[in-house]
Amino acid sequence: MIRTKVCMLGSFAVGKTSLVRRFVHSLFGDRYLSTLGARVDKKSLVIDGTKIDLMLWDLAGKDDYQSVRPTHLRGASGCLLVMDSTREHSVDVALELHQLMLDTIDQVSFVVAINKCDLVDEWRLSDRQLEQLRALGGPIFRTSALTGDEVENAFAALARQILASKPPGEDGDPS
């Protein structure tokens, strides 16, 4: 069994908490509730016969008032980089946080989640922004915490990457 720390990173109100709630509890609440600081949920997956416990660190989103604390990122094996398909600015913030993640953590796996994709008519991301996201090199998922679309797949892809990055025989919390 492997236990690993995964951080949810993104601007405020992009749906990080909602993605965790959907993934862990199969629930969705349509009211936006701010996260202050950090909160952890746990979800176990079995990937190719290996059990992996994801400790999901739901971190406060970055905004004009607060930034992500590097102390919260340390020891993470993976990050879910979340943005809101209806807010262009959330991509810029995600790109900044991707850099913070690289500066803070050695050898980190990540996937990109473009969230709120159920709001098809409100899509605002430009082709240039999508190109910037592709250039990061991680898999990109178009998720919806409301409908559940691609949520499991995004977390499973991250878990798979984390497992693939571990030397054979290693288990336990990598932090």
Partner 1 sequence: MTRTDLPVVQLLERLDLALYESRDGRLLGDAPDWLTELAPEASKGSLEFDDDALPILGDFLGQARRFWQDGARGRLRSGPFVETDARGRGHALEATALRIDGRSLLLIERLGEDYELAVANLQTARENLLVQEELERIVARRTADLREREEELVYRLIRAANLRDNETGAHIRRIGLYSAALARALGWPAATVDDIRLASPMHDLGKVGIPDRILLKPGRLSEDEMAVMRGHTSLGAGILEDSRVPAVRMAAQIAAGHHEWWNGEGYPRGLAAEDIPECARIVAIVDVYDAMCHARSYKPAFPEDRVLDYLRERRARQFDPRLLDVFFERLPEMRRIRELHPDEGMDTAG
CB of 122 to partner 1, least distance (A): 10
Which of 114, 119, 123, 109 is CA-nearest to residue 164? Answer: 109
In sequence order, which ranges of the chain are alpha helices (DSSP H)? 16-25, 70-73, 89-104, 127-135, 151-165
Nearest distance from C-beta of residue 77 to partner 1, angstroms: 13
Non-local (6+) Cβ contacts of 162 within 8 A are 2, 4, 6, 52, 77, 78, 109
CB 70, CB 100: distance < 8 Å: yes
In order of 30, 67, 152, 167, 173, the CA distances from 15 in angstroms are 10, 17, 15, 33, 26
Complex with partner 1: residue 119 or 136, whichever CB lies closer = 119
We find the least distance from the C-beta atom of residue 26 to partner 1, in angstroms, to be: 16
Smallest gap from residue 139 Cβ to partner 1 (A): 26
Q: Which of 75, 139 has the CB closer to partner 1?
A: 75
Q: Which is nearer to partner 1, 147 or 175 (CB)?
A: 175
Residues that bind partner 1 (CB under 8 A): 3, 5, 12-13, 32-34, 36-40, 42, 55, 57, 63-66, 69, 71-72, 74-75, 87, 89, 124, 173, 175
Based on CB atoms, which residue is closest to partner 1, 71 or 107?
A: 71
Residue 103 corresponds to which tokens in the numbers above?
């500066």
Return the number of the residue (13 or 158) whose C-beta is nearest partner 1: 13
Do the beta carbons of residue 93 and residue 64 sit within 8 Å? no
